Amino acid sequence: MAFHKFATEIGKSKVSVPATLWKVVVVVDRPGLGNRGVTEKTRVIAVNMPNTTGIQRKSYKDYLTTVDELEKLTGYDFLSDVPEDIQKVIEAKKE
């Protein structure tokens, strides 16, 4: 799912309004372990939602993507503190 970086500019100051809003959620079973608690089985939820009115009745599941796709879109390296072999598995998941 690809979106443009900015939907529009508004106001006198020409404030850029992003076309999408994204989020990455890492669901850890044992939070006290920090990154050591992240395994290949760790659930990761990544979404990329259009910044438009009228989507509040839709499910977040309609906007599921992968961390890999969000990294391509944003240029960020998410989960960089997690071992590389684990990152490769969980960043490709779409759940």
What is the reported pTM?
0.81
Identify the three-state secondary structure at position 45.
Answer: strand
Could you tell me which residues come within 8 angstroms of residue 21 by beta carbon, excluding any fewer than 6 positions away?
A: 48, 49, 51
pLDDT of residue 71: 96
Written as one string, the DSSP assignment of 53-72 is TT-TTS-GGGGEE-HHHHHH
For all residues of the chain together, what is the average pLDDT? 88
pLDDT tens digits along 36-64:
899 999 999 999 999 888 888 899 999 99
Distance separating the N- and C-terminal Cα atoms of the chain: 15
